Structure 1
Amino acid sequence: MAKLTKKQKEAHGKIDKNKFYSVEEASALVKEITNTKFDSSVELAVRLGVDPRKANQMVRGVVTLPHGTGKDVKVLALVTPDKEAEAKEAGADFVGLDEYLDKIKNGWTDVDVIITMPSVMGKLGPLGRILGPRGLMPNPKTGTVTMDVAKAVAEVKAGKIDFKVDKTGIVHAAIGKVSFTADMIAENANELLDTLMKLKPSASKGIYVKTIFMSSTMSPSVALDPKVV
């Protein structure tokens, strides 16, 4: 096991391993124990008492974080010519159709979110092997397949994220940056946790939220009280 640096030891020393922190306490502590020279992302990892292999226990949703993610989200709008102007006005970084389909076919995926229209989805089907593993395939459930392209682009740019429980039963989501105030981090975290609670599958029995950890890109994790949600 690699030795901890002096700063890493100091960070670990500030965390009480026998304590569950409130969202507000954890938000302030993560800021305090992060020593990176860059603006680290702050993340939540929530372990759920679900079996993601069963369709009726899959947890997936979208949430608009009150303060955004702090990240400049690159959006590709795959739209017909009549929708190009509104997509550009709403802030899409890349707008077009066939030329971008060809680029993706050749391996280009330098975007964070793809928004498209129902009529275009048929053209995206063959690109599922490229887009699927990267989480880029548009989906009506997350609002990325819509006729209201301008609204979808604006929401993503403002801090709308989608999340999905992984095969181990954990939801990972970035909820801001260390440069945010502790209050901003806490408000974003609470918004995500509130949304997760509303998505509890009826087929899920027993404890729904098992553990919650908050951390930044290179900080140790801080345990939150799962009973607070």
Structure 2
Amino acid sequence: MLASFCRQRSLHLAQYATRQIIPSRTFVASPVLEYAKHKNKSKIRIPSKKSLAAKVKRRAALQTKEMEKQERLTLADAINVLRAVEVASPNATYELQIRTVVGSGMAIPKGRVNLPREPKAKPEDIILVFAEGRLADEAKKAGAHIVGGLELVEQVASGRSLASTILCTPALIRGITPKLGRVLGPRGMMPSERRGTVTEDIAGYIARLRGTREWKGDRKGTIRTAIGKLNFPVEDVIKNVRHFLLSVKKVTGTEKDATTKGPKGETKTVVPITKVVLSSTQGPGIQLSDF
């Protein structure tokens, strides 16, 4: 019996010795595997400023081509289309958009107009005049709201003045320019002889302001203005549009029968008008073919 047990024990030991033991293997990140991962990983390209600018330019060119393909209508037809679109909104407003090409260093178009029929009440101009002595008295009698000399410079420079129009006499323009040139220049409010806001005829200038409102373009030279109401007769809207376009053409020098010579014989810079669009509150923008 003991011999049998010993044989069985020997057999078990032999089987255990011949058994194949497969050791467990743990996978760890090796430099080779890490290199392979980074090599196969897709790289994210960050576009340069130059390529982004070129992309924006291409998109703008495509958008311009698409807009040029749009059908253009005469002013009368455009009004009729917008009236049909806004049939449920008789108090909607017509808006006129005029696009001009303002080159580098060119002044933004700006002027005043008195429409035959205003679409809304005109805001009152707050007039500030730099004048002294007799001219200051004339400015007060003409209706100027704020009149004074160089003591008003700090008030204007600090923004405490709410004036919408600023006039100045020739005697004081050199005194206000150093401090107000950088403040009023970018806003288009700095008095200048070219615009007629530096003058001794203060009373006459204020008289011409009565009954008119100012229009001016944005930085890109686009002029926007309310031009009428949907409940206006079509003839009134047409008169307003023609009157406003004439005012813009005189300022930009694009009026066909207008001279392009300045007051001193200098050639006047012409600002081309590229597009005129009429729209309404809820209606589409319609390009005009007869401007």
8 Å CA contact 1:87–1:149 kept in 2: the answer is yes
In structure 2, the residue matched to 1:154 is: 207
Equivalent position amino acid for 1:117 in 2: T
Counterpart secondary structure, 2:276: strand
Residue 4 of structure 1 is matched in structure 2 by: none
* Deviations, residues 116-163 of structure 1 (Å, cap 9, x unaligned): 112221122121222123221112222211111011112123205363
Matched, 1:65 2:127: no
Contact 1:19 1:223 in 2 (8 A): yes
After superposition, residues 177-216 of structure 1 pair within 5 angstroms as 178=229, 181=232, 186-198=238-250, 199-200=253-254, 208-214=272-278
Q: Which residue of 2 aligns with 1:12?
A: none
1:221 CA drift (Å): 5.7
Q: Matches of 2:175 and 2:95 in 1, distance apart?
A: 34
Cα 1:107/1:195, change in 2 over 3 Å: closer
If the length of structure 2 is used for normalisation, what is the TM-score? 0.54
Matches within 5 A, 1:11-22: 20=73, 22=75
1:114 Cα offset (Å): 0.7
C-alpha deviations, 1:35-87, integer Å up to 9, x for none? Answer: 68xxx7x6532112x342154xx563534324477221221122112112222
Q: d(CA) in 2 for partners of 1:192 and 1:85?
A: 34
Segments of structure 1 that go 5 or more residues without pairing to the other structure are 1-16
Pairing partner for 1:102 from 141, 148, 154: 154
Q: Partner of 1:137 in structure 2?
A: 190
Alignment partner, residue 47 of structure 1:
99
Higher alpha-carbon deviation: 85-94 or 25-34: 25-34
- Residue type of the alignment partner of 2:192: N
* 8 Å contact kept, 1:51–1:169: yes
Instruction: Please give the secondary structure, in 1, of the residue aligned with 2:171.
Output: helix
- The whole-number CA distance in structure 1 between the counterparts of 2:76 and 2:137 is 42
Q: Is the 8 A contact 1:211 1:223 kept in 2?
A: no
Matches within 5 A, 1:19-30: 20=73, 22=75, 26=79, 29=83
Give how far 1:196 is off: 3.1
Number of the residue aligned with 1:5: none
Are residues 22 and 214 of structure 1, via their aligned partners in 2, closer, same or farther at CA, if it must alter by over 3 Å? same
1:87 match: secondary structure: helix
The count of corresponding residues between Structure 1 and Structure 2 is 200
Counterpart amino acid of residue 194 in structure 1: L
Q: Which residue of 1 aligns with 2:16?
A: none
- In 2, are the aligned partners of 1:115 and 1:153 still within 8 Å (CA)? no
How many percent of aligned residue pairs carry the same amino acid?
22
Q: Provide the TM-score with structure 1 as the length reference.
A: 0.66
Distance 1:176 1:97 in 2: 38
Do the aligned residues in 2 keep the contact of 1:63 with 1:192 (CA within 8 Å)?
A: no
CA distance in 1, matches of 2:231, 2:122: 8
Q: Check the 8 A contact 2:227/2:237 in 1, yes or no.
A: yes
Higher strand fraction: Structure 1 or Structure 2? Answer: 1
Quote the Cα distance in structure 1 between the aligned partners of 2:141 and 2:243. Answer: 28
Matched, 1:228 2:279: no
Counterpart in the other structure of 1:163: 216
Secondary structure of 1:83's aligned partner: helix
State the 1:110 CA deviation.
0.8
What is the CA RMSD across the aligned residues, in angstroms? Answer: 3.8
Is contact 1:52-1:168 (8 Å) kept? no
Q: Contact conserved, 2:96 with 2:279, CA < 8 A, in 1?
A: yes
